[in-house]
A = this chain, B = another copy of it.
Amino acid sequence: MERNTALTVFDSLSSGVRLDVFRLLVKTGADGMVAGEIAQALEIPANNLSFHLKALTQVGMLGVTQEGRFLRYRANIPQMLDLIGYLTEECCANDPGQCATMRAASTCDPAVLPALATTHTQTSGAF
């Protein structure tokens, strides 16, 4: 992923409305949701939601398909993964052993995620 893409994506996720929308669509996966359904689920005025859907779509985090007079939005999971890859790039260049527990992150398995916070300890003790 290019630096500027990552910047626009992070910016797109720094709004409460857009973060809620994206996470909702991550959960629905390939099914996606129609704009009206999203507005109803998150209780956001249609025009305001439209503003944020456009922003998310322009940065590539959402895809759209028309269904009659409805617009169906879907999360762009591959781009989300690219973003994660960009952020974690060379994260353990100096000490590969430090990264052992990071391998399991960004998983869909809820059983794996809770363990991360406790198993991954920094050697510096700064936190």
Contacts and interface: CB of A to CB of B under 8 A. Distances in A.
A37 interface: no
A2 to B, nearest CB: 12
A96 B81 CA distance: 16
A69 interface: no
A122 interface: yes
A107 to B, nearest CB: 5
A108 B11 CA distance: 24
A126 interface: yes
A94 B28 contact: yes
A43 interface: no
B3 A7 contact: no
A105 B124 contact: no
Interface in A75-113: 76-78, 80-82, 84-96, 98-99, 102-110, 113
Contacts of A27: 89-91, 93-94
A122 B14 CA distance: 25
A63 B29 contact: no
A77 B126 contact: no
Interface string A1-12: 001001100110
